[in-house]
A and B are shown apart, each in its own frame.
Chain A
């Protein structure tokens, strides 16, 4: 069965520092991978996704993630964070053959301090 592990439940970081939020998954078949962001008391917003093609995907607000098939990872990175990036981040995986059923990680709370 597929599963998703986000290795850090909380990541505190200072403004303008780089950050990496780690995500590992387990699946024996090809997968689609997603990162969602959730601001307090709001729904989830899609940040970026990997479906196929280039293993490096980018979002419009400076985040990027790289699909590493051999390490079954999809870590999220940003070279310089802002206070406004403070939120909870969820990694999710969908097996391409099943379609539709997303398996979420437990979430990582990113806290950016001035």
Chain B
């Protein structure tokens, strides 16, 4: 089955800890995206990547980092600098940056 997988489904972070959220796609899409979802605020773009080894900041990149070493993988690290990390994180991909985006099932991050 082709699609986007995100793991884990739930993730717990301790104070001062960095955590990494996984996003993998087997759709052969060039572009990948990370969004944060908070209740009543819709989705906000954190980072996106148009091609391997390239990525750009979105609207709320502070406290986050990404890498794009392989076409199928776009992991997101939530660093200790992100003071309010509790949210639902969604990964998406598209054939190209002007094409329709398809979403993974999401990871819910909670702070202990």
Interfacial residues, chain A to chain B (CB-CB below 8 A): 4, 9, 34, 36, 41-46, 49, 90, 92, 94, 96, 99-102, 104-107
Contacts and interface: CB of A to CB of B under 8 A. Distances in A.
Interface of B: 4, 6, 31, 33, 35, 40-45, 48, 50, 58, 90, 92, 94, 96-98, 100-106, 108
Contacts, number: 57
Nearest to A106: B42
A100 B97 contact: yes
Given A45-B103, A100-B98, A104-B43, 6 more contacts: A34-B100, A43-B90, A46-B102, A94-B98, A99-B96, A104-B44
B31 A100 contact: yes
Nearest to A100: B97
Contact of A90 (B33, B43, B94, B97): B43
Contact of B40 (A41, A49, A106): A106
A90 B101 CA distance: 13
B23 to A, nearest CB: 11
B104 A43 contact: yes
Contact of A101 (B42, B45, B106): B45
Contacts of A104: 35, 42-44
**Candidate in A34, A49, A106 with the most chain B CB atoms within 10 angstroms:** A106
Contacts of A96: 98
Contact of B90 (A9, A44, A101, A106): A44
A41 B97 CA distance: 26
Contacts of A36: 103
Contact of B48 (A42, A100, A107): A100
A43 B40 contact: no
Kindly list the 6 A-B residue pairs having the minimum CB-CB distance in the complex, ordered from nearest. Answer: A100-B97, A99-B98, A104-B42, A43-B103, A44-B103, A104-B43
Contacts of A42: 105-106
A102 B101 contact: yes
Nearest to B3: A43
A86 to B, nearest CB: 17
Nearest to A42: B105
